Amino acid sequence: MDCLFCEIVKGNIPSKKLYEDEQCVAFYDINPMAPVHFLVVPKAHIACADEITQENSPVVAHIFCVIAKLAKEQGLCDGYRIVNNCKENAGQTVRHLHFHVLGGGPLSLQMA
């Protein structure tokens, strides 16, 4: 299987990692859309949010705990946005579940 974020998780493709534990990795987005923009991904391959199940969902709760910790560390005390794009119509380009964390200033309110 050819998955960019699996390769980043394994360290085969370089990234600017800001956090790693046994379940997930966080790294800065290569094309930042906000002053602070990082991605948090599960180490296990899940293609998209549509493939979250009772069995694999604990990592999602874990990722949200990690996001809260990293947001504090990154100084996002005035707020931030968590974004997940699921499949083509939402513009998902990398088919490995990932949560964008965007902040560092006021964000546009555009939702679609």
**Residue 112 makes contact with ligand AMP by CB under 6 A:** no
56 or 85: whose CB is closer to ligand AMP?
Answer: 85
**Residue 66 makes contact with ligand AMP by CB under 6 A:** no
User: How far is CA 80 from its chain centroid?
Assistant: 13
Tell the smallest beta-carbon distance from residue 45 to Zn ion (Å).
Answer: 4
d(CA 17, CA 48) in angstroms, rounded, equals: 21
Contact 4, 73 (CB under 8 A): no
Contacts to ligand AMP from residues 67-96, by CB under 6 A: 85, 91-94
Tell the smallest beta-carbon distance from residue 12 to ligand AMP (Å).
Answer: 11
As a whole number of Å, the CA-based R_g of the chain is 14
Minimal CA–CA distance to 46: which of 17, 86, 90, 100? 86
- Which residues are at the interface with Zn ion (CB under 5 A)? 3, 5-6, 45, 96
- Which residues are at the interface with ligand AMP (CB under 6 A)? 4, 15, 27, 29-31, 85, 91-94
